Amino acid sequence: MPTLPDHVRSIVTEIETDIGESTGLQDETHGDSPETDDSVRIEHAVRDILTEIGEDADREGLRRTPERIHRMYHELTAGYHVDPDRLINGAVFAVDYSEMVVVKGIEFYSLCEHHLLPFFGTAAVGYLPRDRVIGLSKIPRIVEMYARRLQVQERLTQEVADFLMKTIDPHGVGVVIEAQHLCIAMRGVRKGGATMVTSAVLGQFRRSQRTREEFLAHLERGDNR
């Protein structure tokens, strides 16, 4: 893993671990990274954008904006640096349980890769265990790992489902994500409040209509928040 600034390393660690978990990084030091050619290029590019739109990149309010943008994008894309093995950290347990497990109302924030504008909403994740379950906190962390990347909602939905299927080999997985996209609200058709819903179903969730209906029934019960 590349050396990361402290503020990005802390986000990565937060996604990977629960409070009190050992990360194996206690002996490492992660001071603020020295200025690199990449960071200089990013900040110069932001200055060029400010100039191109007719702004004065040297005025007081914008003088440190290139630096702030540089830091912000590292934070918002910290998911690229998350180690999936550290995230799971052995939290897969043999349990004699075969009924559906659903975690819903998982808030997330991501960046649309087409315009670098935010999209945000909630995810619901369900699976049918095959003699193994995953620690409850790991499911929101999986969503967070993939959300903190440049994304499209369809791929985000599929990646969460594929990861869970690969990690615990359940009978099936279902993922539903509902989100609002600022690229629709702020530009183009400018339709604020429009919501996009995507789903991914694998294994028994795809083969069995009854299983899908049970999953959707769980999502309709009560408030997702």
- Structure confidence by residue, pLDDT tens digits, 51-61: 999 999 999 99
Give the catalytic positions in this structure.
Answer: 112-115, 153, 181, 183
* Mean pLDDT, range 150-173, rounded to an integer: 98
- The pTM (predicted TM-score) of the whole model is 0.85
Contact 194, 180 (CB under 8 A): yes
Q: What are the extents of the domains in the chain?
A: 6-81, 91-220
Whether the per-residue pLDDT at 224 is higher than 90: the answer is: no
Helix (H) or strand (E) holding 167: helix 153-168
Q: Which CATH number does 91-220 carry?
A: 3.30.1130.10
- Structure confidence by residue, pLDDT tens digits, 3-18: 788 888 888 888 887 6
Domain 6-81 fold is GTP Cyclohydrolase I; Chain A, domain 1 (1.10.286)
Q: C-alpha dihedral over 39, 45, 46, 52, to 10 degrees?
A: 170
